[in-house]
């Protein structure tokens, strides 16, 4: 159960607005980036939220991984995004792959500000 959990809170994103509002397009890109990072997708799901008086609705895109998960939430009316990447390191260390995936998604959204955090989860088994 030992693994790396990465989060990013992205603000003032300068990307094309469709990355914040088009669930199918975002999910497809997430799945591509997962494979590019060398991780194994096992399922995926996206959801679009309705527009509000503040602007277009955001989206949630999730890719379930053999190693754990990727989840992206967007707030187009605020030009904000949160990204969550968690990889279990059972059998192999997937930390570099998780970092590569996170780096690719942060670059996609082109935020003016990014608060990135990393948490080591679980306990390393004794050797």
Which positions are catalytic?
68, 73, 88
3-state secondary structure at position 91: coil
pLDDT of residue 2: 87
pLDDT of residue 124: 65
- On whether residue 62 sits in a domain, the answer given is yes
Compute and round to an integer the Cα radius of gyration of the chain.
15
Could you please report the per-residue DSSP string of 24-73?
HHHHHHHHHHHHHTT--EEEEEEEEPPPBTTBS--EEEEEEESSEEEEEE
- On whether residue 127 sits in a domain, the answer given is no
CATH of the domain at 40: 3.60.90.10
Looking only at the bridges linking them, the beta strands covering 68-75 and 80-88 are antiparallel
pLDDT of residue 70: 98
Q: How many helices (H) and strands (E) does the chain have?
A: 3, 6
- On whether residue 126 sits in a domain, the answer given is no
How many distinct structural domains can be found in the chain?
1
pLDDT tens per residue across all 127 residues of the chain:
789 999 999 999 999 999 999 999 999 999 999 999 999 999 999 999 999 998 999 999 999 999 999 999 999 999 999 999 999 988 899 999 999 999 999 999 999 999 999 999 987 656 6
Domain span holding position 96: 3-121
pLDDT of residue 89: 83
């Amino acid at each position: 159960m030992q693994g790396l959990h990465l989060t990013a809170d992205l603000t003032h994103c300068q990307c094309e607005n469709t990355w914040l509002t088009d669930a199918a397009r975002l999910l497809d890109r997430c799945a591509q980036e997962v494979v590019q990072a060398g991780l194994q997708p096992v399922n995926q799901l996206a959801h679009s939220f309705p527009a509000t008086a503040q602007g277009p609705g955001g989206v949630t895109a999730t890719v379930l991984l053999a190693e754990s998960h990727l989840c992206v939430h967007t707030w187009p009316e605020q030009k904000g995004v949160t990204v969550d990447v968690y990889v279990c390191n059972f059998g192999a260390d997937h930390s570099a792959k998780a970092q590569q995936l996170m780096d690719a998604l942060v670059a996609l959204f082109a935020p003016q500000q990014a608060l990135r955090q990393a948490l080591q989860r679980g306990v390393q088994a004794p050797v």
